[in-house]
Every structure is written in C-alpha cells, then in structure tokens.
Amino acid sequence: MKILTVVGARPQFIKASVVSAALRPLCEELIVHTGQHYDQNMSDIFFEELGIPRPAYQLGVGSGSHGRQTGEMLIRVEEVIQREKPDILLVYGDTNSTLAGALAASKLHIPVAHVEAGLRSYNMRMPEEQNRVLTDHISTWLFCPTATARENLKKEGIEKGVSVTGDVMLDSVLHFLEVARANPKKRKIYEEVGVEPKRYRLATLHRAETTDGGVEAVTRIFRAFEQLPDPVLIPIHPRTRALAEESIRENGFSNIRLIAPVGYLEMLLLTSGACQVLTDSGGLQKEAYFMEVPCITLRSETEWVETLHGNWNVLADLTTEDILQKALHTTPDPAARSSKPFGDGHASEQIAHILCGA
C-alpha cells in the first residue's frame, strides 16, 4: 500500500505530522510539498521540529494568483502521480494545494482521501470554501473532524466513505503542547518576545477578506487592539506583514507587537499563555478552544461552530467598535465544555487504520 500525501501550507504540515506518525508503521507514505509556503518559518521549521518525514518531492510552486498557483501544482502533482502510481492520494484541509492534489489524482482515477472533510462556511466567495466543496465531491474517503461536518456532507448527498474520526488538530495539540512545555529553550519564548503569561492577547491575521481591504481594513482592526488593556502580540503572516507595518507606522500604535511567524511549539506556548486570542485563522480558533483560552474570531462566519458554544469563541465584524465590544465584554461559560465535539485525541490513528485496512 503506497500513499502519496500532498501538502503545501503551514496548517497542513501540522496536521500531516500526527497522521504521518500513525501511518508509518502501517504503510509506505511519500510526501509531496507543493511549495505553496516556502519561507523557513512557514515551512522548514515544521518539518524540523515536528518529526515530519522529508518530502520525497519539492514542487517549488511558490506564490501566485489562484489560477496560476493551482494550475502549476496540478501539472507537477500529476507528473509525480504518474511516476509513483500510488494507491491513495491524501490531502488536508482547504488550500489550493488540497484542491490541486485531489483534482490531479481524481482525473487519473487514484482514490482521494480528504482529512478535514465536510467543513463549510457557506460563503462561496472564500477560496477555501470552493476548495473544500470541490475536494469533498471527488474524495473516496472523507474524514470528518465533527458530527456537524458529517451532516454538512449529508446535505450535499455525500454519505459513502464518510467517517467521523475527530480532529487531527486536537491530536497534535495534545501531543506537542506537552513536548513544548518539557523544553526549557522553548519555554523562554515569553521572555524573548517580551510578554508575561496571562497578561497579553495573541492575534493572527491572514485571510483574504481581512487583507483585501488594504491598510484601512487592517487599521480598523488595530484601532480596537490599541484600546485593549493588555498588549496584543501578533506573529504576523507574510501576506499581512507590509500592511500591518504601514498601519502601525501611520498611526503610531504602541499596544501592538508584531513578531515574525513562530514555530508550532512556540505558538502552542504563546496560545496557552494568552488571556485571549483574536484571529481570522481556522486552526487557531480551535487551538484556543482546546486550551480553554477565550477567542474572538475576526470573521462573519466560522466553519467550527462547536467552538461558539458557551461563548468560548465569538464572531466579530471587522469594525473597531464590534471587535472592542466583543473583546472586552465576552465571558465564556465553563459549564458549556462538557461534550467533546472534536473527538478523543486519537483521530490520526483512526484515519491510518481505515486507510491501511488494519
């Protein structure tokens, strides 16, 4: 049994780290890195720190418009499939790398396995929504992180090949938070970035909906951050860096601390140590939820509706007033955490067993 795994963006390296570890004893896996993310701290650092096998293929596609980037990936993944003749092609999430991998395989009649199937924002303007809907409809195995995701697929007539395994990101948080906490060098991150645990807020911003509004849109968000009582630490995604720097320079904001993207181990420590998370990231919303850190999601909808229960996560419009109001006046309900909507932390093993028929 040979599995070809296609990854390309930061969250996919994190998800693949735990699934790869579960696949290793059961089958042969070859990793293909499309090159969608390529900076050292957006790519290599995850392979080095999380024990992910070196990619067998580096496609080096890099950045570009959606069509160019996806098209280049499609061409190069197809060549790899033709050479390797895998039994299964495995993809994660909803990026352009996900769609390109799935489409290349499907056209060559290689069955596709999709981890994080069934997620929906019902906002078809999002490139991610287009990628995930299309990928789900050409997948043979659909691994749902939640029961809601299975219901979403059912509404679209997809029931065959669907399993609710739980969320592989819960597996990775449970495993790597312990690893990070046990590492004295990593624990210095608070000192290194100049924050005190529980006396700062952590933010990330990278969605097209956020950055498409240019510096004005980022400034609307930053005006809210500036008025919060704790410093706001932002490991800034390269997509947003220039806009964020310009906004801070023009407005002289002093409560916002931009730092370069950090590795996953540091990020888990920074998330667990924050008194609040503010983000447009899909993955970070959930990590905050897993670690019981209140989260304000800077979007008008979320795919991860379970996190909204008990106000552990609340949605904020991208206006200064709404962000400030929600950030200052939301109190999560500790009693609302009894169920385990994201599984038991063993999603990766379940996926590996289903795929390898063990």
Query: What is the contact surface with ligand UD1 in residues (CB under 6 A)?
Result: 9-11, 36-39, 42, 63, 94-96, 127-128, 206, 238-239
- What is the C-alpha to C-alpha distance for residues 46 and 262, in angstroms, rounded to an integer? 10
Which residues touch 324 (CB under 8 Å, ≥6 apart)? 224, 227, 228
Interacting partner of 145 out of ligand UDP, ligand UD1, none (Cβ under 5 to 8 A depending on kind): none
Sheet with 295-297: list strands edge to edge: 256-259, 232-235, 201-204, 276-279, 295-297, 313-315
Query: What is the contact surface with ligand UDP in residues (CB under 6 A)?
Result: 10-11, 14, 204, 206, 235, 261-262, 264, 267, 281-284, 287
Residue type, 315: L
- Tell me how far, at minimum, the Cβ of 19 lies from ligand UD1, in Å: 17
Q: Helices 320-329 and 214-226: crossing angle, nearest 10°?
A: 30
| Residues 331, 276 contacting (CB under 8 angstroms) | no
Interacting partner of 261 out of ligand UD1, ligand UDP, none (Cβ under 5 to 8 A depending on kind): ligand UDP
Is 14 or 115 the residue whose CB approaches ligand UDP more closely? 14
- Tell me how far, at minimum, the Cβ of 346 lies from ligand UD1, in Å: 25
Q: Which residue out of 137, 175, 206, 346 is catalytically annotated? A: 206
* 289: its two tokens: 């939820």
* 328: its two tokens: 């200052």
| Residues 244, 234 contacting (CB under 8 angstroms) | yes
- Tell me how far, at minimum, the Cβ of 135 lies from ligand UD1, in Å: 12
- Tell me how far, at minimum, the Cβ of 67 lies from ligand UD1, in Å: 11
Interacting partner of 287 out of ligand UDP, ligand UD1, none (Cβ under 5 to 8 A depending on kind): ligand UDP
State yes or no: is 206 an active-site residue: yes
Is 63 or 227 the residue whose CB approaches ligand UD1 more closely? 63
Is 141 or 176 the residue whose CB approaches ligand UDP more closely? 176
Is 74 or 277 the residue whose CB approaches ligand UDP more closely? 277
| Residues 254, 247 contacting (CB under 8 angstroms) | no
Q: Which H or E run contains 61?
A: none
Interacting partner of 226 out of ligand UD1, ligand UDP, none (Cβ under 5 to 8 A depending on kind): none
Distance of CA 23 to the CA centre of its chain: 21
Is 282 or 343 the residue whose CB approaches ligand UDP more closely? 282
Q: Give catalytic residues, as residue numbers.
A: 206
